[in-house]
Amino acid sequence: MVWLAAAVLAVLATDALHTRLPPSGGASRQMGFVPDPDLAKVLSLGFGAVLADFYWLQAIQAAGGDVRITPELGDHLGRLIDLVTTLNPRVDHPYRFAAIWMTASEQNVRTANRLLARGIEYHPDEWRNYFYLGFNHFFYLLENDRAAEWLDRASRLPGAPRYLPRLAARLKSESAEIEVAAVFLQEMLNTSQDDVAKEGYRAALDEIEVEQSARLLDGARARFQDRNGRDLRTVEELVAGESAVLRTLPAAEPLALPSALRRGSTWVLDPVSDRIVSTYYGKRYRLHVGESDRQRAEGWAEERRIRERVQGMEGSRGETRHEPSNHDR
Amino acid sequence: MLNSGSRIWPIATNTVREAVRHRLLYTLLFFAVTMIGFSVLIASLSYVEGERIIQDVGLASIRLFSVGIAIFVGIGLIHGEVERRTIYTILAKPVTRSEFLLGKFLGLLLTVWLQLCLMAIAFVAVSVLVGAGLDLGYVAAMLLVGVELMVIVAVATLFSSFTTPMLAAFFTLGIYALGHLSRDLYSLGQASDVPAVKQAATLLYRALPDLESFNLSTQAVHGVAISGAEVGWASLYGVAYSIALLILASFIFHRRDLE
């Protein structure tokens, strides 16, 4: 009886102590230690595949839920996916997972591109890796020529959508950027298995849809100016009275929006930018997913130019130190 | 030769009977089967490639626990007979020390192959339950796990022929680790500018068992084509390496003072 009481007491005491411990552990979203891939490969003693699975699950834990995509998270995911794909380069989805999540800095995107290139090496017939690489060059790095090259290669692979050659051609002509983005995003939406990423693509597609309507209104506004010799006072003038240039105004909200989320948004002239905007978004669309946008991409490009200029100056001074460029992908 | 076979076989079957009474065997087998089943839970944490994860974990469990059984059951092979003094009764009969050693080796090998079959059944059952694909690649992978186990049992037999179980376990584990590192050691050595290091690396690569040549798990799981030649050459290599180890073990055991 005494033993039983002692056992119950010990269990209760242990449980009480346990509840005082912080709940987060090794598998939490904290950016923990990631071993060197080459060393881990050597020390895996033939168990590389299962070790790769372990770190893949860590990557999912790190990126899952409502987590904010930051350059630090991108770096961490980059290290994890580099480790996963070094331990088992035959994995398939992790390469594209990197492309989806590593978008918060130019370095993130370049690393993701390097990982995608590794994926292409091991899965030369998987068109999606080429497609994602093309998307990164187009969307985040503003490198349309390189994007077109990758799309061109993707289009020759089995299972690739038929529109890819057309998309590549449009990229080369550097026109209709927003339409190209819509096609890219629709394909990413169709092929992605990541629910959070899918939500992001849907949101961007909705915004593009409203932007396309806004561009239609821009055209109508120009015609209105030509016809009446003055600018609009309100957007409604486009459809009202004798000076109307349109029969109806397009929807100011995404068509796919559930009725419960509809706000009865309208088109207005933004007093700051003097542009026609939907009250749903309050601003005009710029090519972006999440926090990355053209401005950021241009910022990255500027940083790169400065870095290259500095490196060039150092090189001309005869310094022997040479860092390999990470812009080759 | 026939006579020799008739003397080796009873020792082998007796070793199997003895090994299946080993509690450690069941403990490791239990953990292996539990891990194979548990792989379904692990895979549920991933939103993609769950079947691949299940099979990765399943095959890794089979390889890990099989080697554990081979080493920890194998190391006490000779020592137990000497300690119980049953070895003297056996060797008093017209049985040579080599035949005794070979019988012990075969007995343990049959035991680990038997448990390998049980684990493979559990693996196939889980794969079928979750709808994961199975093809001839898995048969090839499993076959080479069997060959790897043969080499490990031969290593354990060699060390148990002249040392204590503790040291035999330590040495066999060391050879297992080095056997999986041998290709990397070779590559590292070849990258060196010092000819002596290169030669030493080559020598080590030739002397150590190349256990990575028996590892086709990843290829099987990813559906990479596995050629018959690859499996055939690796199997022949494993058999040849095991024979060489058994000859060495026999040579040492002949000279061992059992008093």
Contacts of B181 (CB under 8 A, 6+ apart): A42, A45
Contacts of B235 (CB under 8 A, 6+ apart): B143, B144, B147
At A287 the pLDDT is: 59
- Work out the minimum CA distance from B53 to partner chain A, whole angstroms: 6
Q: Per residue in B136-163, pLDDT tens?
A: 999 999 999 999 999 999 999 999 988 8
Q: Does B211 touch chain A (CB under 8 A)?
A: yes
| pLDDT tier, B196 (very low <50, low <70, confident <90, very high otherwise) | very high
For the CA atoms of A154, A157, A161, A166, the dihedral, rounded to the nearest 10 degrees, stands at: 50
Amino acid at A8: V
Whether the CA torsion B89, B92, B98, B99 is positive or negative: it is: negative
- Work out the minimum CA distance from B185 to partner chain A, whole angstroms: 9
Give the residue among A233, A271, A239 at the shortest CA–CA distance from A252: A239
At B217 the pLDDT is: 93
A246's tokens: 């349109």
- Work out the minimum CA distance from B19 to partner chain A, whole angstroms: 27
Q: Is residue B81 over pLDDT 90?
A: no
At A127 the pLDDT is: 93
Which long-range contacts (C-beta less than 8 Å, at least 24 apart) are formed by B71-74?
B71/B152, B71/B156, B71/B169, B71/B172, B71/B173, B71/B176, B72/B24, B72/B28, B72/B169, B73/B19, B73/B22, B73/B24, B73/B25, B73/B108, B73/B111, B73/B112, B74/B108, B74/B152, B74/B153, B74/B156, B74/B157, B74/B160, B74/B168, B74/B172
Q: Most B CBs within 10 Å: which of A38, A51, A53, as the mutation test of the B interface?
A: A53
At B45 the pLDDT is: 84
Q: Tally the residues of chain A.
A: 329
- Between residues A257 and B251, the one the model is more confident about: B251
Q: Are A118 and A84 in contact (CB under 8 A)?
A: no
The H or E element spanning position B256 is none
Q: Does B2 touch chain A (CB under 8 A)?
A: no
At B84 the pLDDT is: 79
Q: In Å, what is the CA distance from A153 to each residue of A8, A122, A145, A186?
A: 68, 15, 13, 19
Of the candidates B42, B48, B180, the beta carbon closest to that of A46 is on B180
Give strand pairing partners of A293. A288
pTM for the complete prediction?
0.75
Could you give the CA distance from residue A244 to residue A238 in angstroms, rounded to a whole number? 5
Phi/psi for A98 (5° steps) reads -60, -40
Q: Tally the residues of chain B.
A: 259
At A65 the pLDDT is: 66
- The answer to whether the Cβ–Cβ distance between B48 and A93 falls below 8 Å is yes
Percent of the residues in chain B that have a pLDDT greater than 70, as a whole number = 98
Could you give the CA distance from residue B218 to residue B252 in angstroms, rounded to a whole number? 38
Amino acid at B198: K
Q: Are B216 and B142 in contact (CB under 8 A)?
A: no
Minimum CA–CA partner of B46 in chain A: A57
Contacts of B12 (CB under 8 A, 6+ apart): B103, B104, B106, B107, B110
Give the residue among B131, B119, B140 at the shortest CA–CA distance from B35: B119
The H or E element spanning position B1 is none
Lowest mean pLDDT among A308-322, B116-130, B243-257: A308-322
Lowest mean pLDDT among A22-31, B36-45, B185-194: A22-31
At A325 the pLDDT is: 43
Task: Find the largest Cα–Cα distance for chain B.
Answer: 64
Could you give the CA distance from residue A162 to residue A156 in angstroms, rounded to a whole number? 10
Q: Is residue B176 over pLDDT 90?
A: yes
**Residues of A whose CB is below 8 A from B221:** 49
3-state secondary structure of A67: coil
At B23 the pLDDT is: 81
- The answer to whether the Cβ–Cβ distance between A57 and B224 falls below 8 Å is no
pLDDT (tens place) for every residue of chain A, 329 residues total: 888 899 999 999 998 888 887 765 444 455 778 999 999 998 999 899 999 999 999 999 888 766 778 888 999 999 999 999 999 999 999 999 999 889 888 899 999 999 999 999 999 999 999 999 998 998 888 888 888 889 889 988 998 888 887 777 777 665 567 777 788 788 878 877 777 778 877 888 888 889 889 989 999 999 999 988 889 889 998 988 777 888 899 999 998 888 888 888 999 999 888 899 999 988 887 654 444 456 666 677 777 777 777 777 766 665 544 444 444 44
Q: Are A112 and A135 in contact (CB under 8 A)?
A: no
- Residue B197's CB is within 10 A of a number of other CB atoms, namely 14
Work out how many CB contacts closer than 8 A connect A with B: 53
Interval B246-258 mean pLDDT: 88
Phi/psi for A194 (5° steps) reads -100, 115
Q: Are A126 and A94 in contact (CB under 8 A)?
A: no
| pLDDT tier, B99 (very low <50, low <70, confident <90, very high otherwise) | very high
Q: Are B176 and B68 in contact (CB under 8 A)?
A: no
A273's tokens: 């930018």
A46's tokens: 């033939």
At A293 the pLDDT is: 57
Q: What is the ipTM of this complex?
A: 0.85
| pLDDT tier, B104 (very low <50, low <70, confident <90, very high otherwise) | very high
Interface of A with B (CB under 8 A): 42, 45-50, 52-53, 56-57, 60-61, 88, 90-93, 193-195
